[in-house]
Chains A and B, each alone.
Chain A
């Protein structure tokens, strides 16, 4: 590939530990990826001068120029379809869908082309691209801004679907997604964008595809991902007061799914509850329950349960707290596990 005109001096990332929000960690990941590989491009709606509505692309156009981080016309199928063509021609595009529900116009491109190109072409054309989707609720957003859309993507063969729950994972999983040979749907939990951590960058956490135990325990396993991981941890802390030792697993990657970590935990504890924001019917949570039941049946002391959003359209902001899985709701279900 010929050198791009926009190549400029990239300021060094500070090596000492610094406080990053998840949004800032994502920005740092994009910046470091673009500095490391000139094939990496970032584009979408409002990602240029504005830096994205959540400021995740802040400063990228200023640093790398308009050829490498640019605004597009407002059309999501156009953004994703264009990324397909650019990936076919040697680039590694990262695109931003401004909000979860605004990615729906791009679903045909994602399902019929992004997910299938390698397979359609018998392995001849891979699409190394990342579709970043700020998703889920809890931020008081009005309708169409708070959907948990992960099941649509997770159901589609050919896609890799990840969702970080910590600033460190946000950085590491995004870097790894950009380096990945296949398309990745990168789901960013909006309500965690402002969560902070001390990070020394660049860093790498556990590899993509691996779930991690965020809190060890012996009595029951809470399985969460993305926006519900903090709730699961809070519930575990509260349960400890009541004398229950609760293990919390952060899936990190929905596809591929880390059966080994999840089943090893549930076989040890004998009880499991899946905690997710999305409506429960035909959901990722359903899939987790099915897998755990199939693989851990003889170790189970109680049915595997779910705490999920209701099977309703995402509520208006004043009512969303009734819909979202809460610590109390998690604790109530834990209590029902046939102790």
Chain B
């Protein structure tokens, strides 16, 4: 379905009728009038990040089954969306991720153990947001999109050209904070890119029960900002489309809403049973559109990806997995006293309750000896 622009001048806000695709599921180039294929070097870097990201995701999935993680929302099938979006940013651009964006964080360079700290359960967020410019992974839906707007607007006031890339899912587009964030970003012309991974399901609820908009990208129009649609399993297209939006934001032209069409191959988390609400045939159909195999086929076709390179990337990914097994395999050492350390800057405020816990711990330690 294609909407007609309400008046001339707004037609550029309309998303395309079809998601932008540059490489099809068989690895063949599908040229696009508005977007160029990224360079071979960029695509090789993307391939490497995809291989690493997938191995990370598989290892985390395994470890949750082994009880080493409390819960794990898999990125399986969505790797191209997360990798492509991050590779379209500079390292000083900020990411505002959700709990399902672990592969995005690994791609940015956050320590994989730091990424999984929340899901292992030793603390809520396991990395320093200022080191890699990554906000804490957000569990309440869409709330972090407003933080992205504030951070981006603050950057502009300081004269910096930092861009904020906000990750959200299809379900979160129903939340009020998503709409407030789009509107605030538009009104303040804040340098924000809203990147929606439409993976088809909000836990069990399919998209057609979430929205009857022609596409989620169409939600941009009401806020006076452009909406874009991209094949979220085509890393080349994601890099191109997000890069254009990031550069537009950096140039002071305001926010963009991008909908990446992808699919959650695994269940919502290990605690979910996806057979209760979706057909195995649908999953199989999406496996045929796998984000890694198509770029693999394309780069082997051009000759850029040699056996040697591929083996090197695979070995690198295996090393990441091994490191995860080693560091996450050990039981975490937590200090219950830390529960009181970060509630307020002034630790004295909870000193009485901290002392109570200290006394209990001292008794336990005494009993254990």
A interface vs B, CB < 8 Å?
1-2, 4, 67, 72-73, 75, 77-78, 80-91, 93, 105, 108-109, 112-113, 116-126, 157-158, 160, 181-182, 256
Contacts and interface: CB of A to CB of B under 8 A. Distances in A.
A86 B129 CA distance: 14
Contacts of B145: 81
Given A78-B184, A118-B342, A88 B129 contact: yes
A86 B184 CA distance: 13
A75 B148 contact: no
Contact of A160 (B150, B155, B160, B344): B344
B343 interface: yes
10 contacts: A4-B158, A73-B184, A73-B187, A75-B183, A88-B147, A89-B155, A120-B124, A122-B338, A125-B136, A256-B349
A158 B341 CA distance: 11
Task: Assign chain B's interface to a size class.
Answer: 35 or more
The B interface, classified by DSSP as helix, strand, loop or mixed, is: helix
B147 A84 contact: yes
Nearest to B187: A73
User: Which residue among B148, B153, B157 has the maximum number of chain A CB atoms within 10 Å of its CB?
Assistant: B157
B149 A81 contact: yes
Nearest to B177: A77
Contact of A78 (B128, B148, B151, B180): B180
Contacts of B346: 181-182
Contacts of B184: 72-73, 75, 78, 82
Contact of A109 (B126, B136, B146, B157): B146
B150 A181 contact: no
A157 B124 CA distance: 15
A77 B159 contact: no
Contact of B153 (A82, A119, A124): A82
Interface in B330-365: 338, 341-346, 349
A178 to B, nearest CB: 15
B158 A2 contact: yes
B59 interface: no
B125 A81 contact: no
Contacts, number: 135
B287 to A, nearest CB: 36
B158 A113 contact: no
A125 B147 CA distance: 13
A88 B160 CA distance: 15
Contacts of A256: 349
Interface string B136-169: 1000100101111111111101111000100000
Query: What 9 A-B pairs come out closest when comparing CB atoms?
Result: A85-B150, A81-B146, A78-B180, A89-B154, A85-B151, A82-B150, A181-B345, A85-B147, A123-B342
B123 interface: yes
Contacts of A113: 140, 143, 147
A235 to B, nearest CB: 32
B196 to A, nearest CB: 18
A78 B149 CA distance: 9
B135 interface: yes
Given A77-B177, A83-B150, A85-B149, A112 B140 contact: yes
Nearest to A6: B157
A267 B343 CA distance: 31
Contacts of B312: none
Contacts of B181: 78, 81
Given A1-B158, A158-B344, A86 B183 contact: no
Interface in B210-259: none
B124 A119 contact: yes
A194 B184 CA distance: 33
Given A118-B345, A124-B129, A160-B344, A88 B123 contact: no
B345 A4 contact: no
B153 A81 contact: no
B345 A182 contact: yes
User: Which residue among B123, B152, B338, B349 has the maximum number of chain A CB atoms within 10 Å of its CB?
Assistant: B349
A124 B158 contact: no
Given A90-B158, A118-B342, 15 more contacts: A67-B157, A80-B146, A83-B150, A84-B147, A85-B150, A86-B153, A86-B154, A88-B135, A89-B150, A89-B154, A108-B143, A119-B124, A121-B342, A124-B130, A125-B136
A65 to B, nearest CB: 11
Contacts of B109: none
B153 to A, nearest CB: 7
B176 interface: yes
A112 B145 CA distance: 14
Given A90-B154, A122-B123, A125-B129, A82 B344 contact: no
B136 A85 contact: no
B343 to A, nearest CB: 5
Nearest to A105: B176
